[in-house]
């Protein structure tokens, strides 16, 4: 069977290449996207709008009639489409080679070392309009590695990076093989160890046991440099007096990331798989003074702990299962709770999370939420501005306005409609996705093999034969 | 100064603003426990704001307060305290001593503790992990119901909990990876952990105390932050709760804690039978744990030491303050009852799981007894709390009803009702709730009367009969004056709706049943719960069906289809039945004989025997060593595994009809009785052949029918010599007149149940001919003969219409000869020959008034009474449709003259059922029988008494 005429395969190679490769950087980087509707997430949607981008930033958004497009801008005119800021995934464990560490407490690990830029996950993100992802380690942990905020474009980890070390993952849900009590003890012990370490350092300095200084001098290192300057400890929950005596470089690098947390310089994504876990998460954050930087990543049913969450004033990433179902033990009647509504009613900022990287991605979750009773604005905010604020990129992603990252998604229609599709995606001002050229969709819908995978048919046939021949031989041997 | 956050810290949140509603709970008896005196003549408890505001005969509650009155039979006692729970348990710490593990972290305020609340447990002590560590951590005490987390935590830390028991003494080594790993020691190695012995445990505790006092040399061994946390806890003089099971362990603890002067509670004590006086001297509180009855453990070693069952009594006698705990929170009441062995009084036992338990875990100021100012946690029982059979009516925590057996029953009932009417659902209703009838006179039907008496009905059957029966959770208790079994109408036409069709043996009578028929229900409400149904139009020989007029589904309506065979005497029915019976017996004999002969028949087997002999002869010429080998082989053969079920797939390439390499596959499914079914796929036939057959020991015979004639497989089960796990079948196939031999290894032990083979051909003979199998088949009696024969083994009855004295005699004579006990119907003269027929008939049913008036009205003679006196059972038959509803009144009238109500009751119930061979199903209040019960407002079968309520199959018949 001849699937691929020979003259076509060369053409395919070029087309598919266009999708993956970003458009070559132009010397002159001004671009304008004209769209039938521009949903800015910063005020009312604009009909016949224009998004002006200069390099990687948006410089202006407005009505086509009111905004002058510079003469040197490249214009993408899509009068039938709807432009949106790219969706923001507030918490994801995908895109890494494995999501969980086997050790309990590893804040000194970095998810950078685990990111896989060619993971299909990132490709899916573009296909469904997600342009910012906060990749954190898995939930089966006590204190996990530092996460990173990435964009789903690029072939190296550096190219993906939006913000490295964007926060630390902790878990109040017992790691496999632990009870809640031992999980809690392990969490407490991590902070206790940090404190012991800092106090020991200070004690050493106070007693003149300044061995590291002598060592550095002997080795000829720059001990008096900028990094080596001590700084007073600025924890909110607790401080160790005299930490300024100790140069920061002397803090054990295994402890340093946790010190960042205690001093309020790093976000914490605290996983609570069950409502009973919320108490421990909030207590730990409060005692160690990082409640302000904490985002709770919730499992199903955690709306039951709403009182504590409201009291703690922490934002939450909701369970991907939007509706929580409980069964009455006697009547076996099912009660369904749409959790987002509970959090909305109590004024808790929340973000939606994708249930998978494909069909149940953020757009689907937002659309489903509208079906369950959120307004369009609330649902869209829960996948754009709310998660952006949560991960500390408010005004930069999840919104179309001057100064924001030039991440624009063009939908074929209403972004919350099942009939709409992501047609074009711009990240940092570059078009990185065009549905009409998506090689995998072509393979799926038109039977065209992606470039680079088409093989010489004659060779393929030969190969098949040889395989069959071998099989029949094997059979003979069996006899 | 290092602050420690391993110590449980005070609640972080403001206690919930939700306030419980005021409530007054009333019951007949109140056990306040904790030294309070018992209120026996009705009492009330006023709970205000979650706390007990007043308790007494009357309470000064303001008017309009919600009242819960459980009636004079109910008993109130404090909510039970489980001094050890398994809630939220995961694992223990890896460390031998982990005082920094807080059990309160395990508390899940969002979990539902339904089972505990149903058992009356309202407060529980949480253990960090399993508690199997020298120091497992700090315990916590929580309430098992309530509004918000913080108000439910009674003690964030209830002190240290640990164990010197054997479970805590063999820990795996402790290992923590070194990061980064160094070249010289890699990731480090395991450190062995203390303790291995009791002595080791004592040393370890001493070392830990030294660590706590600042001796840093133990930091490596016990790890951080053990020392720091322990120091803080010692400063607070927290209580140590240590587990010790044997006398030695107890002695070690008493000695150690005595010298260190530390507060101690000892838990466990199962085997510490001799420690009572030592404990009394030391003054330590004890939590005595009752062990789960573990049959397997007893099985393992009958002589092993068992826990001392009288320990609680010994502790009490010695004056040791003690609490009682079970192996599980739900076993508290059993544990308390168990502790009473050896003479402990019930009040102390109850205190052991309430007030004393609260003291032992340090929450006596909040819960454990019913006193003004304490939490309004109480349990309402339907009897004395520790009595067997008592169950919890309601559990109340802080004034809120958190378990209500009535509500649960109501909920289940509503589900049942919904399911009953839901369209498209099966009409089979869910079982009725367990029901207890408690009456002053319980008439069992067979003449016995229990006074007072109770029966427990559940799942349609009678579960228990006695003066007092169990009241399982959710049981409905119905009180009344008298109860008797439902009445059995030995012959009636109910449900025939006025038509008198003739019904022959090919008609399935269950097809005329109409569940929920109004007329049926009226009859049932009049007390007739079983009708032996036939059609009034039937003549000659016919059968009946025993059914129940009331249940809502057909399966429950049928007591027994083809229950009795009705015939006339004199007539040729009985002789012809007897002839048929004899013929049948003869056939069976023939069959047995044929089967026995047929087994020896296979000619091949003889041949192979000859072959063997020849081979053996040949072997004799061989060298000795060879022979030895052969002998070895033979021995191995002798060890051939026992015959096994041959279910599975057997497949091989074999020679069929002279052609080599033909595929043959047999799939066999073996039933429990050695019957086989399966399929055969063979290369020389296009279709899949369904097979049937049998296995006897190793021999497997399978036969099937194909379009090309029958196929027969005779196979011998065998096992591979080098691998007895591998089964094979070896034998031959007979097909199209050709015989092939082969060996089929089993390729899979599974039978793929996709579609069962279609049942074999109807005509046995034809099948036999076609299949080529001459295997004899078991003869089957026709339906009427089956009933007739059933009279001998109690699965059927023979009712004979006979009236005249001489006819009765001749009938009975004939039947006795043939070992049949008939029921005489319309036998108005039976009483005249009572002496002759006693023991030879199953019973007598009269259809006219039993009382005959003689001597110009001067003498009333009750024929039923005469028969009963002579030891012949009698019964009533309505011979009517809805007229059956009058059966009880008819019997009452019959009993009025020259008879007794007791006699009539027997005739209506037990005797009627027995003569129809239904005595193990209906007619008696007997364990295992259908729960068909009538509740009466007076003694049975007196004119003034009415049938009040009726249960059929344990479900009340609704008016």
Closest chain A residue to B105, measured at CA? A181
Q: pTM for the full model?
A: 0.69
Cβ proximity of B404 and B381 under 8 Å? no
pLDDT in tens, B170-186: 887 777 777 777 777 77
Cβ proximity of A95 and A63 under 8 Å? no
Q: Is the pLDDT of residue B775 over 90?
A: no
Of A296, A309, A295, which Cα lies nearest the Cα of A266? A295
Q: Do the chains contact at A331 and B12, CB–CB below 8 Å?
A: no
Q: Do the chains contact at B105 and A183, CB–CB below 8 Å?
A: yes
Cβ proximity of B824 and B845 under 8 Å? yes
Of B714, B680, B720, B74, which Cα lies nearest the Cα of B405? B74
Q: What pLDDT sits at residue B43?
A: 93
Q: How far is the C-alpha of B915 from the C-alpha of B800, rounded, in Å?
A: 12
Q: Do the chains contact at B128 and A283, CB–CB below 8 Å?
A: no
Find the mean pLDDT for residues B695-716: 84
Cβ proximity of B17 and B393 under 8 Å? no
Please report which confidence band the pLDDT of residue B335 belongs to, taking 50, 70 and 90 as the band edges. very high
Find the mean pLDDT for residues B262-280: 90
Task: Give, as one character, the DSSP assignment of residue B430.
Answer: P
Closest chain B residue to A203, measured at CA? B1
Q: What pLDDT sits at residue B419?
A: 64
Please give the span between the terminal C-alpha atoms of chain A, in angstroms, as a whole number: 33
Q: Is the pLDDT of residue B510 over 60?
A: yes
Containing H/E element for B342?
none
Binding-face residues of A in 313-372 toward B, CB within 8 A:
328-332
Question: Is A197 part of the contact surface with chain B (CB cutoff 8 Å)?
Answer: no
Higher pLDDT, B431 or B702: B702
Question: Is B125 part of the contact surface with chain A (CB cutoff 8 Å)?
Answer: no
Q: How far is the C-alpha of B394 from the C-alpha of B696, rounded, in Å?
A: 59
Residue of B15, B110, B409 to mutate for A, most A C-beta atoms under 10 A: B110
Please report which confidence band the pLDDT of residue B719 belongs to, taking 50, 70 and 90 as the band edges. confident
Q: What pLDDT sits at residue B857?
A: 66
Max Cα-Cα span within chain A = 83
Residue of A108, A181, A476 to mutate for B, most B C-beta atoms under 10 A: A181
Question: Is B776 part of the contact surface with chain A (CB cutoff 8 Å)?
Answer: no
pLDDT in tens, B873-885: 999 998 888 888 8
Higher pLDDT, A208 or B118: B118
Find the mean pLDDT for residues A207-234: 74
Q: Is the pLDDT of residue B762 over 80?
A: no
**Least confident among A4-18, A164-178, A193-207, B799-813:** A4-18
Task: Give, as one character, the DSSP assignment of residue B841.
Answer: S
Q: Do the chains contact at A308 and B224, CB–CB below 8 Å?
A: no
**For strand A323-327 and strand A334-338, is the pairing parallel, antiparallel, or unpaired?**
antiparallel
Please give the span between the terminal C-alpha atoms of chain B, in angstroms, as a whole number: 79
Containing H/E element for B50?
none
Q: Is the pLDDT of residue B780 over 90?
A: no
Q: What pLDDT sits at residue B420?
A: 60
Chain B CB contacts of A329 under 8 Å are 112, 114
Question: Is B148 part of the contact surface with chain A (CB cutoff 8 Å)?
Answer: yes
**Least confident among A22-26, A110-114, B302-306:** A22-26
Chain A CB contacts of B12 under 8 Å are 282-283, 286
Chain B CB contacts of A177 under 8 Å are 91
Q: Where are the beta strands (DSSP E) in A7-128?
A: 30-38, 46-54, 57-63, 74-85, 87-92
Q: What pLDDT sits at residue A208?
A: 79
Report for A123-132, A355-364, B667-676: range of highest mean pLDDT: A123-132
Q: What pLDDT sits at residue B318?
A: 93
Other beta carbons less than 10 A from residue A157's beta carbon: 17
Q: Which two tokens stand for residue B666?
A: 């047999």
Phi, psi of B863 (to 5 degrees): -65, -40
Find the mean pLDDT for residues A443-472: 62
State what percent of residues in chain B have pLDDT above 90: 35
Other beta carbons less than 10 A from residue B892's beta carbon: 20
B105 closest CB neighbour out of A180, A304, A305: A180
The secondary structure of B293-323 as a DSSP string is --HHHHHH-TTS----TTHHHHHHHHT--EE
Chain A CB contacts of B109 under 8 Å are 276, 279
**For strand A161-171 and strand A268-272, is the pairing parallel, antiparallel, or unpaired?**
parallel
Q: Do the chains contact at B114 and A307, CB–CB below 8 Å?
A: no
Q: Which residues contact A426 (CB under 8 A, 6 or more apart)?
A: A31, A33, A53, A406, A407, A408, A409, A410, A432
Find the mean pLDDT for residues A11-26: 43
Find the mean pLDDT for residues B44-56: 94
Cβ proximity of B831 and B870 under 8 Å? yes
Q: Which two tokens stand for residue A431?
A: 């078009």
Please report which confidence band the pLDDT of residue B352 belongs to, taking 50, 70 and 90 as the band edges. very high
pLDDT in tens, B444-500: 998 899 999 999 998 889 999 999 888 877 778 888 999 999 999 999 888 777 777
Q: What pLDDT sits at residue A26?
A: 43
Q: Is the pLDDT of residue B302 over 80?
A: no
Closest chain B residue to A332, measured at CA? B415
Q: Do the chains contact at B128 and A181, CB–CB below 8 Å?
A: yes
Question: Is B101 part of the contact surface with chain A (CB cutoff 8 Å)?
Answer: yes
Of A274, A233, A236, A271, which Cα lies nearest the Cα of A255? A233
Q: What pLDDT sits at residue B654?
A: 85
The secondary structure of B486-502 as a DSSP string is PEEEEEE-TTSTT----
**Least confident among A143-152, A208-217, B796-805:** A208-217
Of B224, B515, B455, which Cα lies nearest the Cα of B932? B455
Chain A CB contacts of B128 under 8 Å are 179, 181-182
Q: Is the pLDDT of residue B361 over 80?
A: yes
Q: Is the pLDDT of residue A193 over 50?
A: yes
Q: What pLDDT sits at residue B644?
A: 77
Task: Give, as one character, the DSSP assignment of residue B885.
Answer: G
Residue of A102, A106, A172, A179 to mutate for B, most B C-beta atoms under 10 A: A179
Q: Is the pLDDT of residue A374 over 90?
A: yes
Question: Is A287 part of the contact surface with chain B (CB cutoff 8 Å)?
Answer: yes
Q: Which two tokens stand for residue A277?
A: 């876990």
Question: Is A308 part of the contact surface with chain B (CB cutoff 8 Å)?
Answer: yes
A238 closest CB neighbour out of B3, B89, B110: B3
Q: What pLDDT sits at residue B899?
A: 86
Report for A155-164, B555-564, B764-773: range of highest mean pLDDT: A155-164
b (16+ CB within 10 A) / e for B94-115: bbbbbbbbbbbbbbbbbeebee
Q: Do the chains contact at A188 and B88, CB–CB below 8 Å?
A: no
Closest chain A residue to B138, measured at CA? A181
Question: Is B473 part of the contact surface with chain A (CB cutoff 8 Å)?
Answer: no
Q: Which two tokens stand for residue B92?
A: 């223990």
Q: Is the pLDDT of residue A50 over 80?
A: yes
Please report which confidence band the pLDDT of residue B752 belongs to, taking 50, 70 and 90 as the band edges. low
Q: Do the chains contact at A179 and B128, CB–CB below 8 Å?
A: yes
Please report which confidence band the pLDDT of residue B15 belongs to, taking 50, 70 and 90 as the band edges. very low
Higher pLDDT, B861 or A366: A366
Structure-token match 């799939």, residue found: B667
Other beta carbons less than 10 A from residue B289's beta carbon: 22
**Least confident among A141-145, B516-520, B648-652:** B516-520
Q: How far is the C-alpha of B51 from the C-alpha of B907, rounded, in Å?
A: 60
How far does the CA of residue A193 sit from the closest CA of chain B (Å)? 8
How far does the CA of residue B727 sit from the closest CA of chain A (Å)? 21
b (16+ CB within 10 A) / e for B775-794: bbeeeebeebbbbbbbbeee
Q: Is the pLDDT of residue A225 over 50?
A: yes
Of A407, A451, A369, which Cα lies nearest the Cα of A132? A407
How far does the CA of residue A150 sit from the closest CA of chain B (Å)? 28
How far does the CA of residue A250 sit from the closest CA of chain B (Å)? 16
Chain B CB contacts of A331 under 8 Å are 411, 414-415
Q: How far is the C-alpha of A429 from the C-alpha of A140, rounded, in Å?
A: 37
Please report which confidence band the pLDDT of residue B800 belongs to, taking 50, 70 and 90 as the band edges. very high
Q: What pLDDT sits at residue A404?
A: 95
A276 closest CB neighbour out of B98, B102, B108: B108
Other beta carbons less than 10 A from residue B718's beta carbon: 20
């Amino acid at each position: 069977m001849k699937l691929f005429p020979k003259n076509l395969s060369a053409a395919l190679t070029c087309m598919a290449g266009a999708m993956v490769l970003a458009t070559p950087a132009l010397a002159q980087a001004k671009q304008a996207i004209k769209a039938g509707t521009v949903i800015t997430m910063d005020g009312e949607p604009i009909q016949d709008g224009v998004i002006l981008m200069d390099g990687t930033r948006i410089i202006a958004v407005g009505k086509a009639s009111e905004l002058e497009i510079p003469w040197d801008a490249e214009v993408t005119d899509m009068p039938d489409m709807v432009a949106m800021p790219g969706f923001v995934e507030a918490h994801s464990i995908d895109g890494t080679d494995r999501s969980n560490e086997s050790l309990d407490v590893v804040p000194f690990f970095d998810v950078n070392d685990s990111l896989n830029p060619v993971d299909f996950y990132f490709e899916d993100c573009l296909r469904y309009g997600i342009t910012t992802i906060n990749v954190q380690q898995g939930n089966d942990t006590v204190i996990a590695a530092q996460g990173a905020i990435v964009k789903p474009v690029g072939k190296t980890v550096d190219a993906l990076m939006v913000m490295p070390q964007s926060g630390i993952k902790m878990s109040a849900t017992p790691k496999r093989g632990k009870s809640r009590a031992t999980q809690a003890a392990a969490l407490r012990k991590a902070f206790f160890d940090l404190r012991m370490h800092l106090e020991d350092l200070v004690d050493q300095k106070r007693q003149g046991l300044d061995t590291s200084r002598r060592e550095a001098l002997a080795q000829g290192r720059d001990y008096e440099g900028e990094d080596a300057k001590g700084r007073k400890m600025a924890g909110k929950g607790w401080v160790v007096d005299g930490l300024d005596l100790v140069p920061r470089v002397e803090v054990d690098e295994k402890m340093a990331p946790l010190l960042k947390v205690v001093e309020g310089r790093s976000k914490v994504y605290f996983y609570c798989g069950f409502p009973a876990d919320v108490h421990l998460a909030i207590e730990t954050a409060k005692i160690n003074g990082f409640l302000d930087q904490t985002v709770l990543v919730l499992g199903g049913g955690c709306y039951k702990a709403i009182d504590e969450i409201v009291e703690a004033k922490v934002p939450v990433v909701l369970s991907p299962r939007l509706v929580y179902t409980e069964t009455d033990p006697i009547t076996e009647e099912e009660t369904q709770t749409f959790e987002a509504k509970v959090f909305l009613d109590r004024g808790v900022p929340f973000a939606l999370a994708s249930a998978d990287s494909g069909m149940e991605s953020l757009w689907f979750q937002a659309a489903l939420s509208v079906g369950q009773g959120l307004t369009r604005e609330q649902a869209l905010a829960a996948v754009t501005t709310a998660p952006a604020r949560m991960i500390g990129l408010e005004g930069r992603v999840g919104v179309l306005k001057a100064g924001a990252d030039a991440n624009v998604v063009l939908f074929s229609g209403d972004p919350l409609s099942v009939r709409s599709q992501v047609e074009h995606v711009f990240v940092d001002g570059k078009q990185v996705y065009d549905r009409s050229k998506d090689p995998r969709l072509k393979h799926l819908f038109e039977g065209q093999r992606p470039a680079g995978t088409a093989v010489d048919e004659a060779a393929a046939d030969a190969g098949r034969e040889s395989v069959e021949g071998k099989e029949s031989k094997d059979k003979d041997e069996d006899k | 100064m290092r602050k420690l956050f391993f110590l449980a810290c005070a609640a972080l949140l403001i206690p919930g603003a939700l306030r419980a509603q005021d409530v007054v709970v009333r019951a007949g008896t109140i056990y306040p426990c904790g030294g309070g005196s018992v209120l026996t003549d009705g009492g009330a408890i006023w709970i205000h704001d979650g706390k007990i505001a007043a308790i007494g005969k009357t309470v000064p509650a303001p008017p309009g307060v919600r009242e819960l009155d459980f009636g004079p039979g109910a008993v109130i006692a404090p909510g039970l305290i489980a001094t050890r729970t398994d809630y939220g348990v995961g694992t223990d710490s890896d460390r031998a001593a982990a005082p920094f593990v807080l059990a309160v972290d395990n508390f899940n305020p969002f979990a539902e503790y339904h089972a505990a609340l149903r058992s009356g447990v309202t407060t529980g002590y949480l253990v960090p992990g399993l508690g199997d560590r020298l120091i497992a951590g700090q315990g916590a005490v929580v309430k098992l119901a309530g509004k918000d987390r913080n108000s439910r935590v009674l003690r964030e830390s209830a002190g240290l909990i640990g164990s010197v028991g054997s479970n805590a003494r063999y820990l795996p080594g402790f290992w923590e990876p070194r990061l980064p790993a160094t070249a010289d020691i890699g990731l480090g190695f395991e450190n062995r952990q203390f303790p291995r012995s009791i002595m080791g445990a004592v040393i370890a505790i001493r070392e830990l105390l030294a660590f706590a006092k600042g001796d840093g040399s133990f930091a490596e061994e016990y790890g951080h932050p053990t020392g720091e946390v322990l120091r803080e806890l010692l400063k607070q003089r927290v209580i140590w709760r240590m587990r010790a099971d044997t006398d030695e362990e107890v002695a070690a603890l008493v000695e150690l804690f005595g010298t260190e002067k530390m507060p101690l509670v000892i838990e466990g004590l199962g085997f510490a039978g001799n420690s009572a006086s030592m404990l009394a001297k030391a003054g330590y509180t004890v939590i005595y744990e009752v062990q789960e009855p573990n049959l397997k453990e007893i099985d393992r070693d009958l002589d092993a030491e068992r826990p001392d069952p009288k320990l609680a009594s010994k502790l009490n006698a010695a004056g040791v303050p003690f609490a009682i705990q079970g192996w599980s929170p739900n076993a508290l009441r059993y544990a308390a009852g168990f502790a009473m062995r050896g003479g402990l009084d019930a009040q102390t036992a109850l205190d052991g799981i309430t007030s004393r338990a609260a003291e032992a875990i340090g929450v006596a100021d909040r819960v454990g007894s019913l006193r003004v100012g304490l939490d309004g946690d109480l349990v309402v029982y339907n009897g004395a709390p520790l009595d067997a059979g008592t169950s919890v009516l309601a559990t109340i925590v802080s004034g809120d009803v958190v378990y209500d057996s009535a509500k649960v029953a109501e909920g289940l009932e509503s589900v049942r009702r919904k399911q009953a009417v839901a369209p498209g659902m099966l009409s089979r209703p869910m079982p009725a709730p367990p029901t207890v009838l408690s009456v002053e006179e319980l008439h069992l039907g067979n003449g016995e009367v229990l006074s007072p008496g109770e029966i427990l009905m559940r799942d349609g059957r009678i579960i228990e009969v006695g003066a007092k029966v169990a009241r399982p959770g959710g049981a409905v208790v119905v009180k009344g004056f008298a109860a008797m079994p439902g009445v059995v109408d030995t012959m009636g036409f109910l449900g025939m709706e006025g038509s008198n069709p003739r019904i022959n043996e090919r008609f399935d009578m269950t097809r005329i049943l109409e569940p929920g028929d109004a007329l049926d229900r009226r009859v049932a409400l009049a007390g007739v719960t079983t009708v032996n149904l036939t059609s009034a139009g039937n003549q000659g020989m016919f059968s009946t069906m025993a059914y129940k007029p009331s249940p809502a589904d057909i399966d429950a309506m049928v007591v027994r289809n083809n229950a009795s065979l009705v015939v006339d005497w004199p007539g040729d029915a009985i002789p012809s039945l007897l002839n048929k019976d004899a013929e049948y017996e003869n056939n069976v004999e023939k069959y047995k004989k044929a089967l026995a002969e047929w087994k020896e028949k296979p000619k091949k087997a003889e041949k192979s025997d000859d072959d063997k002999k020849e081979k053996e002869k040949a072997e004799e010429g061989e060298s000795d060593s060879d022979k030895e080998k052969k002998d070895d082989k033979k021995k191995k053969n002798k060890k051939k595994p026992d015959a096994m079920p041959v279910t599975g797939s057997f497949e091989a390439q074999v020679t069929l009809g002279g052609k080599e390499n033909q595929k043959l596959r047999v799939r066999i499914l073996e039933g429990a009785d050695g019957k086989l079914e399966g399929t055969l796929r063979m290369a020389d036939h296009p279709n899949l052949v369904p097979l049937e057959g049998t296995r006897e020991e190793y021999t497997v015979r399978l036969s099937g029918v194909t379009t090309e004639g029958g196929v027969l497989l005779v196979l011998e089960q065998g096992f591979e010599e080098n691998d007895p796990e591998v089964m094979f079948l070896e034998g031959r196939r007979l097909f199209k007149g050709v015989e092939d031999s082969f060996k089929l290894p089993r390729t899979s032990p599974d039978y793929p149940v996709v579609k069962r083979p279609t049942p074999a051909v109807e005509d046995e003979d034809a099948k036999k001919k076609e299949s080529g199998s001459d295997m004899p088949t078991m003869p089957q009696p026709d339906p009427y003969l089956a009933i007739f024969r059933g009279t001998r083994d109690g699965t059927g009855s023979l009712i004979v219409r006979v009236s005249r004295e001489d006819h009765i005699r001749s009938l009975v004579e004939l039947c006795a000869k043939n070992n049949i006990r008939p029921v005489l119907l319309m036998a108005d003269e039976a009483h005249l020959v009572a002496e002759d027929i006693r023991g030879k008939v199953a019973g007598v049913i009269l259809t006219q008034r039993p009382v005959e008036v003689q001597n110009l009205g001067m003498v009333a003679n009750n024929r039923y009474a005469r028969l009963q006196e002579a030891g012949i059972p009698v019964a009533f038959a309505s011979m009517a449709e809805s007229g059956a509803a009058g059966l009880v009144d008819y019997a009452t009238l019959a009993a009025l003259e020259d008879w007794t109500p007791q006699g009539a009751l027997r005739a209506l119930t037990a005797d009627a059922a027995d003569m129809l061979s239904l005595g193990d199903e209906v007619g008696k209040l007997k364990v295992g029988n259908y729960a068909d019960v009538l509740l009466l407002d007076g003694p049975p079968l007196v004119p003034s008494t009415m049938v009040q309520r009726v249960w059929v199959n344990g479900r009340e018949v609704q008016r």
